[in-house]
């Protein structure tokens, strides 16, 4: 792996191995601050896109992985920037990880930022527009939030009454449903952390603040991305 190029909110990881025919496969990862990844204690090479680039390159795949995550972004804003910041770059694959901000109850609200019906409609439009541009959409579930985040959500009693993950769980189910219904590959990040919990791991050990993955958390996410993309790239 040669390294990464930084351009605004975009991180471009450049591989050193070309695909068959000398063409590199371009993967753009859309999402919010979880996809943006870089924060205190988490460097550019440690976010899941960087790990994905490294592992796929080492496995012999010619790929260029681009991290296109914007903090606090939800599906409405994703649709607004899709053409200019993603599809204009002519990707072969676009991964779509949204839900944390769509499902969030802001302190002065009595429901999530994006209704679950509008969230599903936005996901479907993202998938449709990515396909229309000739790329393959890949849906991704959000990671869970943990009790370490309660200091942030303390201002809204809904989280105390219903549990820290009460809303994000519903939105995760929507992602899985849309993936099945529209026959879209799925990277089930939420399930990845669920497996860790069932194995007796402390999930807080994989987050910086109960929401954003630390370096170990990005390794978990990247592992599931690698499995899906090795299958997709092998078939292609």
Q: What is the DSSP string of 98-132?
A: --TTTS---TT-SS-SS-HHHHHHHHHHHHHHHHH
Tokens 């200091």 correspond to what residue? 151
pLDDT band, very low/low/confident/very high, at 13 (cuts 50, 70, 90): low
By three-state DSSP, how is residue 183 classified?
Answer: coil
Q: What pLDDT sits at residue 28?
A: 98
186 forms beta bridges with 139
pLDDT tens digits, 15-56: 544 444 568 999 999 999 999 999 989 999 999 999 999 999
Question: Which residues neighbour 221 within 8 Å (Cβ) at sequence distance 6 or greater?
Answer: 48, 143, 189, 192, 213
Give the predicted TM-score (pTM) of the model: 0.91
Instruction: Name the β-bridge partners of 96.
Output: 30, 139
C-alpha distances (whole Å) from 27 to each of 52, 94, 116 are: 10, 6, 27
Average confidence (pLDDT) over 174-195? 97
Residues in CB range of 187: below 8 A, 6 or more apart? 95, 97, 138, 139, 140, 141, 224, 225, 228
pLDDT digits (tens, 9 = 90+) for 103-160: 999 888 889 999 999 999 999 999 999 999 999 999 999 999 988 887 666 778 888 8
Domain boundary assignment for the chain: 3-235
Q: What is the pLDDT of residues 206-233, one digit of tens each?
A: 999 999 999 999 999 999 999 999 999 9
Rounded Cα gap, residues 228 and 34, in angstroms: 19
At residue 175, the 3 state secondary structure works out as helix
For residue 13, CA distances in Å to 73, 88, 205 come to: 22, 18, 26
Taken in order 50, 55, 57, 61, is the CA torsion positive or negative? negative
**b (16+ CB within 10 A) / e for 10-37:** bbbbbbeeebeeeeebbbbbbbbbbbbb
Average pLDDT score over residue span 183-199: 96
Of residues 62 and 236, more confidently modeled: 62
Closest CA to 91 of 130, 58, 124: 130
Classify domain 3-235 at the CATH class level: alpha beta
Q: How confident is residue 9, by pLDDT bands cut at 50, 70 and 90?
A: low
Angstrom distance (rounded) from CA 72 to CA 236: 34
pLDDT for the residue numbered 109: 85
- Count of alpha carbons within 13 angstroms of residue 9, beta-carbon side: 18
pLDDT over threshold 50, residue 6: no
Q: Which helix (H) or strand (E) holds 170?
A: helix 166-182
Residue 152, pLDDT score:
67
Mean pLDDT rounded to a whole number for the chain: 90
pLDDT at position 180 over 90: yes
Write down the pLDDT at residue 160: 80
């Amino acid at each position: 792996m040669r390294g990464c190029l930084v351009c605004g909110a975009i991180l471009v990881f450049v591989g050193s191995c070309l695909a068959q025919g000398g063409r590199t496969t371009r993967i753009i990862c859309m999402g919010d601050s979880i996809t943006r990844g870089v924060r205190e204690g988490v460097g550019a090479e440690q976010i899941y896109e960087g790990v994905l680039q490294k592992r796929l390159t080492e496995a012999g795949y010619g790929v260029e992985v681009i991290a296109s995550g914007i903090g606090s972004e939800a599906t409405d804003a994703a649709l607004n920037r899709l053409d200019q910041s993603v599809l204009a770059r002519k990707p072969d694959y676009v991964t779509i990880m949204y839900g944390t901000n769509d499902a969030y109850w802001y302190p002065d609200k009595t429901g999530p930022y994006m209704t679950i019906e509008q969230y599903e409609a936005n996901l479907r439009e993202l998938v449709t527009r990515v396909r229309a541009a000739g790329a393959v959409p890949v849906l991704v579930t959000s990671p869970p939030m943990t009790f370490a985040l309660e200091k942030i959500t303390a201002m809204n009693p809904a989280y105390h009454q219903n549990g820290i993950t009460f809303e994000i769980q519903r939105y995760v189910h929507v992602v899985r449903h849309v993936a099945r219904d529209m026959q879209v590959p799925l990277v089930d990040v939420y399930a990845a952390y669920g497996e860790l919990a069932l194995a007796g791991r402390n999930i807080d050990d994989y987050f910086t603040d109960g929401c954003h993955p630390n370096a170990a958390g990005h390794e978990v996410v990247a592992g599931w991305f690698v499995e899906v993309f090795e299958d997709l790239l092998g078939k292609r």
